[in-house]
Structure 1
């Protein structure tokens, strides 16, 4: 593109659009938040007085000055909105999950390729402090050959809400809410697994959709456990990783979400996590059984939209590619098939990233 600024249109101004996408877009050089599609113009203008508010998505798609459309709406609407945006010739960012089915994802990929438009999915937790720290430990071989990884994302939300996520509809439930985060992180570390086993549960009083899951992924010489629940009041480890040279354990969530919810905007020191992990290494002398604190690398959610801007303006790779988003959709859907059939399901093609295993 000739222009050095991309005009962005955001669809949806609920939790995701207001808390995550709008502030991060505004903080990104090369992107300008030009219009928001929302039924509540007063709410948008209270935060963004200079931004135009449109009542319906077709009005945004008809705007020739809009280069990039960001979809931050309920999961079941991702496919029809993305299809219409691509028909209008727009580049796309879609909040996770990409779609609610693998077949929808395949149709969008084909449409994007034919239209020569860029599509990326907002897998922002690749830029969490704890994940970047773990990634560096594995790339450096600090833990040796990793044999076990546990990744948990727990909350204590005992009251069922009237939000769409708590209703029985396509894309509802915790598997499609938190599963994409955990699956994308593991795929980024180790590639695609050999097999998957998923157990879903509905544990809260009055709940009608899954609000607890346990997922196992099988790799060569490595077992990955992913868990998320809405009924965990006592803190659990965010990561627990064991290898032939030692272990790494991290409690506490990356602080960027809480800072955005509090109204903070990205600034120096923005992604620093005040709670270090614990590193226990076999060859470390003078350390007790608890090991030593291991400070985390700073998180960097702004890197996602900075990468999108570079890709559209300068032709660099997208920060989350369509192939990577398709892998996550494959994992989500095969996991559901595993739960329905009550057994492990194997993948036809396993693509492990062996350099992160210590091989």
Structure 2
């Protein structure tokens, strides 16, 4: 039986398009990278080398007007996510937007409304749900190895004392800085595990000299029965645990970050690697808990990470009516939590999630 082919239009071949989209979607059977919008000569050269069958265009309308393209991926700077996604939807396309979804929850609400009205799929690349370490955390919690969770803390720290040249951190603008960049991952993961919080508290700062965009944050999500702390900084030379989870029976501590981004940056492609997303043993997390009256300490072998799962899900939604894993509403709620954290930091008070 012939497999249904989904033609894809990719808008942008910067870091996001080059690392997190093109090599992933082309590793999932059923997707065909049909057209790429890009204007920078060095990026066009890379596209021609890696995806010679893909057409490169300098006008996004060539993607929007092309009736053969069913799925549009928006992999552009954050401040134009909304405008490109809206135009793609209004052109009758299914749309996958790079995170963060939009600059504001109002923009997200408008896109959701359009997608529902025209019956098209709208999703967001919250790919770190398929990090190996997060999949391990998810399994540990769901297996009740720690008992009822009372405290969860996740860090996404780096040591980059100079702001650098990335548009994400170079200057303060809509949806710039680490809260939108890395915070959206941490918030989405917490939402996956625990649902929506009752209240949000935020502390947001610019720590690096000559920096304008936010580069440090701490966001606390209050639930009826647990505290969730999400932190990130760019001045962290000695990293804290990536995950610290404490329950009524025990704790799980995990250092290190999923290896897929590094592998993709090094030019590896999932379909060419049999051991894709497998962490070395030195990165395994440590558990200290009670299991049926026995005190147990040791390591938990990490689950394999696999960003292809998001695209496999999107393919299943488009061809077989599967349920969407990352809903636009979930991504919208992540943006709303970011907004509340910003307001909390400014007003120095807890904000109720509404």
Tell me which residue corresponds to 2:57: 54
Equivalent of residue 177 in structure 2, options 170, 173, 186: 173
Query: Which SS does the other structure have where 1:165 is aligned?
Result: coil
CA distance in 2, matches of 1:336, 1:118: 30
Query: Which SS does the other structure have where 2:346 is aligned?
Result: helix
Structure 1: gaps (5+ residues):
349-359
In 1, are the aligned partners of 2:288 and 2:295 still within 8 Å (CA)? no
| 1:134 partnered with 2:142 | no
Tell me which residue corresponds to 1:9: 9
Q: Deviations over 1:285-323 (max 9, x none)?
A: 576xxx311111111211000100010011111121122
Query: Which SS does the other structure have where 1:176 is aligned?
Result: helix
Tell me which residue corresponds to 1:247: 251
Equivalent of residue 222 in structure 2, options 218, 221, 235: 218
Tell me which residue corresponds to 1:26: 26
CA distance in 2, matches of 1:292, 1:162: 42
Query: Which SS does the other structure have where 2:168 is aligned?
Result: helix
Tell me which residue corresponds to 1:277: 285
The residue correspondences of 1:67-216 to structure 2 (distance < 5 A) are 67-166=70-169, 167-216=171-220
Offset at 1:46? 2.7
The residue correspondences of 1:224-239 to structure 2 (distance < 5 A) are 224-239=228-243
CA distance in 1, matches of 2:162, 2:113: 41
Distance 1:88 1:3, change over 3 A: farther
Q: Deviations over 1:43-70 (max 9, x none)?
A: 3213222211000211111111100000
CA distance in 1, matches of 2:45, 2:269: 21
Query: Which SS does the other structure have where 1:204 is aligned?
Result: coil
| 1:336 partnered with 2:342 | yes
CA distance in 1, matches of 2:166, 2:113: 32
Offset at 1:116? 1.0
What TM-score comes out, normalization by structure 2 length? 0.94
Query: Which SS does the other structure have where 1:142 is aligned?
Result: coil
CA distance in 2, matches of 1:300, 1:322: 21
Tell me which residue corresponds to 1:320: 326
CA distance in 2, matches of 1:112, 1:144: 40
The alignment yields a C-alpha RMSD, in angstroms, of 1.4
Query: Which SS does the other structure have where 2:28 is aligned?
Result: coil
- Comparing 134-143 with 161-170, greater Cα deviation is found at 161-170
Offset at 1:3? 7.5
Offset at 1:163? 2.1
- Comparing 158-167 with 19-28, greater Cα deviation is found at 158-167
In 1, are the aligned partners of 2:218 and 2:231 still within 8 Å (CA)? yes
How many aligned positions are there? 344
Tell me which residue corresponds to 2:306: 300
Runs of 4+ more than 4 Å apart: 283-287
CA distance in 2, matches of 1:159, 1:280: 38
What TM-score comes out, normalization by structure 1 length? 0.93
Offset at 1:150? 0.6
- Comparing 193-202 with 40-49, greater Cα deviation is found at 40-49
Query: Which SS does the other structure have where 2:219 is aligned?
Result: strand
| 1:256 partnered with 2:251 | no
Q: Deviations over 1:13-46 (max 9, x none)?
A: 0001001100001001111111110003223213
Q: Deviations over 1:117-143 (max 9, x none)?
A: 110000000011111111111111110
In 1, are the aligned partners of 2:220 and 2:228 still within 8 Å (CA)? yes
In 1, are the aligned partners of 2:82 and 2:111 still within 8 Å (CA)? yes
CA distance in 2, matches of 1:180, 1:231: 19
Offset at 1:236? 1.4
